[in-house]
Chains A and B, each alone.
Chain A
Amino acid sequence: MKVFEPSIRWILVLMVMALFSSCSHLPVINHVDPAAAPDTKERCLRPFLDVPYRFIHSLEVSFPGGRTGTLLGVTVVYPAEKTIHSVIMTIEGFLLFDARYDKEVRVNRAVPPFNAEQFAGHMMEDVRLMFLAPEGKLVDAGVYTDGSSVCRYYGNKDTIVDVSIHKDESWEIKAYSSSHDLLRKIRAFDVQTGIPGMVELSGFGFREYSLRLNLISAEAVSPEANHMRPAKTPEDDE
């Protein structure tokens, strides 16, 4: 009986195959008429805020095994200064997480598991991805094969961000690693006057999670509110 003995050449072939199979591919962007390119770039900015806004959402968190839990989230975003204030609480009003991003993350309150290392940072990245235009360089624009307008940005942290706007004005934002692995996917639905009624956020890779944000209220806020001092503890007629 002839025994198969792997040669150096075979091992090299297998290594090359493994290398190719481990590389993911970014979705193909088809280029549009150059005259239409500015419109595409304009459309790609629609998901992002240009004035300060306060959002209140119900947050439906999916746990492993199909269980779900619902929380309330308040987010205030100041796009000009790129600052974010975010609060998560229970339906009964118990404050679980309160943090602010202004060049760096400052956590005011974090009850476990919201005090986990890097939770605040990752959460702020998700909020930025959702509401603020990508900071990186716009490297490509066109349409996906399904006809959606798409812009591709190369971010500052070796991430690639695709922003695609569907024909029904709903949108998707996808963040990829430098090796083109999908890291985050944000899908916005029921968009009315530029504000989505529902947003789905999915995280992939080492820590997979999914979150559904249902809009309770959205209101423009004054830019000056960003510099307001915290209120004092109220008198309770003691």
Chain B
Amino acid sequence: MESMMAEGRAKKYAFIIGILCSCAVMLGWANTWEDIQRESAKIQSVSAQFSQQKHMQILTKPLVSKGRFYFQAPDSVRWEYSSPIKSVLIMQKGSIKRYTQGSRGLVEDASGSLETMQIVLQEIGRWTRGQFTENEHFSATLKGGKSPRIILTPKEKGLSAMISRIVITLSPDRPGVIKSVKILENEGNYTLFEFTDVQINGKISEKLFREVG
């Protein structure tokens, strides 16, 4: 039971990252929440390359993971790592699965809980509509200027034990595109996601949200 809860918690975190990043990329360049909501309404699909840098005290240089993610409105997500371990998270129509390359090939990872899926779906609904300020898990601050940023701070004590804050940096010269997402933990540990090759409203094959390979 405890193991299942931990799996759920880990997957919740994974999906929060995935969904946050996918939705964050959809954000338009803006100085007000109204601008963000207006830009969000225009987004139907997003695909991008990502690089994930894990900075920790135990490492002298960050552990870098790379991959690609896809989002199709209203709620389909594919979050795929190509290195150092091949791993694919797929969410479609309320169903969430994770596959990881192991000794038996690309197999489904230990399953998470329904509760986690419900929370994630709620987050998607809010973020895709640009409703950061009405989020029950995070309080949001928007900072405009040359490099607009959204800072999310956990409201719950349990979540704040895992994440101290999240900083989403928007692209200054390309509305709708973000430069990076930084998730800060504690003791200098943080994860930085940087996005390149961001394509908005391009055609994404529906198979990507159904098939792993």
The finding on whether chains A and B are genuine partners in a shared complex, rather than unrelated, reads: yes
A70 near B10 with CB under 8 A, answer no
Asked if residues A68 and B9 are in contact (CB atoms below 8 Å), the reply is no
**Which stretch (B37-45, B59-67, B124-132, B196-204) binds chain A?**
B59-67
Q: Are B2 and A116 in contact (CB under 8 A)?
A: yes
Interface residue stretch chosen among B13-21, B25-33, B205-213: B13-21
Q: Known contacts A58-B84, A72-B85, A233-B188: does B56 contact A87 (CB below 8 Å)?
A: yes
Cβ–Cβ < 8 Å partners of B186 in chain A: 109, 233
The segment from B70-78, B100-108, B114-122 found at the interface with A is: B100-108
Contact A74 B5, beta carbon cutoff 8 Å: no
Name the A residues within 8 Å of B5 (CB-CB): 112
Complex partner residue of B65 from A54, A67, A91, CB under 8 angstroms: A91
In this complex, the member of A92, A98, A221, A232 whose beta carbon has the largest number of chain B beta carbons within 10 angstroms is A92
Question: A230: CB under 8 A from chain B?
Answer: yes
B17 CB contacts on chain A under 8 angstroms: 92-94
- Return the chain A residue nearest B143 by Cβ: A238
**Chain B binding surface, main DSSP class:** mixed
Which one of B54, B109, B185 lies within 8 Å of A69 (CB-CB)?
A: B109
How many Å from the CB of A32 to the closest CB on chain B? 35
Q: What is the minimal beta-carbon distance from A214 to any residue of chain B, in angstroms?
A: 8
Q: Is the CB of B6 within 8 A of A90?
A: no
Please state if A76 and B10 are interface contacts (CB–CB under 8 Å). no
Instruction: Give the contact-size bracket for chain A.
Output: 35 or more
In contact, A108 and B167 (Cβ under 8 angstroms):
no
Interface residue? B151 (CB, 8 A):
yes
Complex-state Cα separation, A63 to B109, whole angstroms = 10
Taking CB atoms, residues of chain B closer than 8 Å to A68 are 100, 102-104, 107, 109-110
List of B residues within 8 angstroms of A216 by Cβ: 84-85
Q: How far is the CB of A150 from chain B (nearest CB, A)?
A: 27
Known: A87-B56, A92-B191, A234-B190. 10 other contacts (CB 8 A): A56-B63, A63-B3, A67-B110, A87-B58, A90-B10, A90-B13, A91-B81, A92-B14, A114-B6, A216-B84
Q: List 16 A-B contacts (CB under 8 A).
A: A54-B60, A68-B103, A70-B102, A70-B109, A72-B84, A93-B183, A112-B5, A113-B3, A212-B102, A230-B57, A230-B188, A233-B186, A233-B187, A233-B188, A233-B190, A234-B190
